[in-house]
Structure 1
Amino acid sequence: MFRMAIAATALSLTLATGGFAGEQYVDGTGYAVSGYDVVSYFDLPQASVGEAQPAPLKGKADYTAEYNGARFAFASAENRDRFLDDPAAFAPQYDGHCAYGVAKGGKVPGNPNLWRIVDDKLYLNITRNVVGFWEEDIPGNIDLAEQNWDGIEPDAASDRKIPDFTATTPN
């Protein structure tokens, strides 16, 4: 409990001092990453490039944490505590926006079911077609996204819906 209080205090100080300029993408569920447990991605085996990834765990309303101005949901108290120990290690890159979209210079939603972990960082994409473009040159697309991010991070979060995705609120 003490450790969680310290993590929450540190997080509050970081947010209050403007450590994060952009806004986390939050859809109609009211949760970042559509209520999926961001820690669960790191416990899943990754599929090979060109294959669909396994499904992450859905978070529960009983296990939440605030980070970067958004509420994250977790499948268990243990996953929430892991997140609170180092939120930046688990939160998706580009505030949950599509990594390929950022590489192209804009903010569009990231679909929580279209993901890849590269160098211990979680990246989301918007559609299956976009995943194909992203996977043609993952390192090059990350480089482009990193170059673009400083210029678009302060922009408001996307307010678009994720195409072909039905979000359900964590229970």
Structure 2
Amino acid sequence: MKRLLAVLTLVLGVGAHADGFKIGLGGYCPVGFVKAGKSVFGDPKFASEYEGTTFYNSSADAKKMFDKDPASFVGAIKYKGFCATGLAMSKKLESDPSIFSRIDGSIYFFSSKEAKTMFDKDPKKFIGQANAEWAKLQ
């Protein structure tokens, strides 16, 4: 069941509960990205709510860390999870949370392995371009 939920939320981008709340990061644990640099599926039994979005944490400890300072975890995710390479090319693309780079405490997601490979060749260039595009969208 957990696997099905994860697949559905990845396919749909940001999933939704029956009560209308959004599921952030495709069901992946935000603490895993920021603290461990790993994409780890969260568990609904360790759910946390922040700004109208539900985030699934991978453990009780991860939930405790997230709940203590959710803004720092959500704030580390750049461009609200859209593909960093896509933004640098003026395209707002959904990303796959299992494909990411962690640079200076920030998490950048990508729509494909190819997009990540492009980004990783010159992160400063892509971050600069993506930041400029993101500013236009705000």
**Percent of residue pairs bearing the same amino acid type:** 25
* Maintained 8 Å contact 2:101/2:116: no
More helix by share: 2
Query: By how many angstroms is 1:37 displaced?
Result: 0.5
Question: Is residue 134 of structure 2 the alignment partner of residue 134 of structure 1?
Answer: no
What is the TM-score when the length of structure 2 is the normalising length?
0.76
Map residues 73-88 of structure 1 onto 2, 5 A cutoff: 73-88=56-71
Q: Render the CA deviation track for 1:90-146: whole Å, top value 9, x for unaligned.
A: 222111111111212232112111111111011110101111111121111111111
Query: By how many angstroms is 1:69 displaced?
Result: 3.3
Higher-RCO chain (CA-CA 8 Å, sequence separation at least 6): 1
Map residues 9-158 of structure 1 onto 2, 5 A cutoff: 26-27=14-15, 30-44=22-36, 56-91=39-74, 92-153=77-138
RMSD (Å) for aligned C-alpha atoms: 2.0
Which consecutive residues of structure 1, in runs of 5 or more, have no partner in the other structure? Answer: 1-24, 46-54, 154-171
What is the letter of the counterpart of residue 99 of structure 1?
A
Question: Residue 8 of structure 2 aligns with which residue?
Answer: none
Query: By how many angstroms is 1:27 displaced?
Result: 4.0
Give the secondary-structure state (helix, strand or coil) at the position aligned to 2:126: helix
Q: Which is greater in Rg?
A: 1
CA distance in structure 1 between the aligned counterparts of 2:52 and 2:16, rounded to whole angstroms: 15
Query: By how many angstroms is 1:41 displaced?
Result: 2.0
Q: 1:101 to 1:56 in 2, by over 3 A?
A: same
User: How many residue pairs get matched?
Assistant: 120
Give the secondary-structure state (helix, strand or coil) at the position aligned to 2:40: coil
CA distance in structure 2 between the aligned counterparts of 1:69 and 1:28, rounded to whole angstroms: 11
Q: 1:137 to 1:88 in 2, by over 3 A?
A: farther
Which consecutive residues of structure 2, in runs of 5 or more, have no partner in the other structure? Answer: 1-12
Q: 1:150 to 1:67 in 2, by over 3 A?
A: farther
CA distance in structure 2 between the aligned counterparts of 1:137 and 1:27, rounded to whole angstroms: 32
What is the TM-score when the length of structure 1 is the normalising length?
0.62
